[in-house]
Amino acid sequence: MAVKDYEAVIGLEIHVELLTESKMFCGSAVTFGEEPNTHTCPICLGLPGTLPVTNKKAIEYITMIGLALNCKINPISQFHRKNYFYPDMPKDYQISQYDIPVASNGFLDVELDGGERRVRILRAHIEEDTGKLLHESKSGRLHEAKYSLVDFNRAGTPLAETVTEPDIRSAEQAVAFVSQLRSIVQHLGVSDGNMEEGSLRVDANISLRPVGSNEFGVKAEVKNMNSFRSLKKALNFEIERQEELLRNGGEVHQETRHWDEKLGRTTTLRRKEEVQDYRYFPDPDLVPFNLTEDYVEEIRSKLPELPKDRKKRFIEEYGLPAHDARVLTQSKAVGDYFDEAVKLYKKDPKNVSNWIIGEFSYHLKNANLEIDESAITPKHLVNLLNLIDKKTISGKIAKEVFDEMFNTGKLPDIIVEEKQLVQIVDESEIEKIVDAVLEENAQAVEDLKSGKEKALGFLVGQVMRFSKGKANPEIVNRLIKKKI
Binding residues (CB under 6 A) for ligand ADP: these are: 9-13, 163-166, 205-207, 216-217, 219, 275
- Structural contact between residues 184 and 111, judged by C-beta atoms closer than 8 angstroms: no
- Structural contact between residues 44 and 25, judged by C-beta atoms closer than 8 angstroms: yes
Long-range contacts (CB closer than 8 Å, 24 or more residues apart) made by 385-388 = 385/345, 385/348, 385/351, 385/352, 385/355, 386/345, 387/412, 387/413, 387/416
Q: Closer to ligand ADP at the Cβ: 79 or 314? A: 79
Interstrand relation of 220-223 and 255-260 (parallel, antiparallel or unpaired): parallel
CB of 216 to ligand ADP, least distance (A): 3
CB of 251 to ligand ADP, least distance (A): 13
Q: Across-strand partners of 281?
A: 81
Q: Closer to ligand ADP at the Cβ: 2 or 275? A: 275
CB of 129 to ligand ADP, least distance (A): 18
CB atoms within 10 A of CB 285: 13
Q: Closer to ligand ADP at the Cβ: 178 or 444? A: 178
Q: Closer to ligand ADP at the Cβ: 10 or 398? A: 10
Q: Closer to ligand ADP at the Cβ: 218 or 303? A: 218
Q: Closer to ligand ADP at the Cβ: 135 or 209? A: 209
Task: Name every residue whose Cβ is closer than 8 Å to that of residue 48 and which is 6 or more positions away in sequence.
Answer: none
Closest-by-Cβ residue to ligand ADP is: 11
CB atoms within 10 A of CB 112: 14
Q: How far apart are CA 379 and CA 385, in angstroms?
A: 10
Angle at 102 (CA atoms; ends 99, 108), nearest 5 degrees: 105
CB of 12 to ligand ADP, least distance (A): 6
DSSP string across 64-122: HHHHHTTPEEPSEE--EEEE---TT-TTSEEEE--SS-SEEEEEEEEEETTEEEEEEEE
- Structural contact between residues 193 and 186, judged by C-beta atoms closer than 8 angstroms: yes
CB of 218 to ligand ADP, least distance (A): 7
CB of 277 to ligand ADP, least distance (A): 10
CB of 84 to ligand ADP, least distance (A): 13
Q: Closer to ligand ADP at the Cβ: 217 or 378? A: 217
Q: Closer to ligand ADP at the Cβ: 100 or 422? A: 100
- Structural contact between residues 125 and 96, judged by C-beta atoms closer than 8 angstroms: yes
Q: Closer to ligand ADP at the Cβ: 167 or 404? A: 167
* Cα distances (angstroms) measured from residue 13 to each of 16, 101, 174: 10, 14, 11
CB of 207 to ligand ADP, least distance (A): 3
Handedness of CA 180, 186, 190, 193 (dihedral sign): positive
* Cα distances (angstroms) measured from residue 229 to each of 13, 115, 194, 226, 261: 18, 21, 13, 8, 10
CB of 172 to ligand ADP, least distance (A): 16
- Structural contact between residues 311 and 305, judged by C-beta atoms closer than 8 angstroms: no
Q: Closer to ligand ADP at the Cβ: 215 or 293? A: 215
CB of 231 to ligand ADP, least distance (A): 14
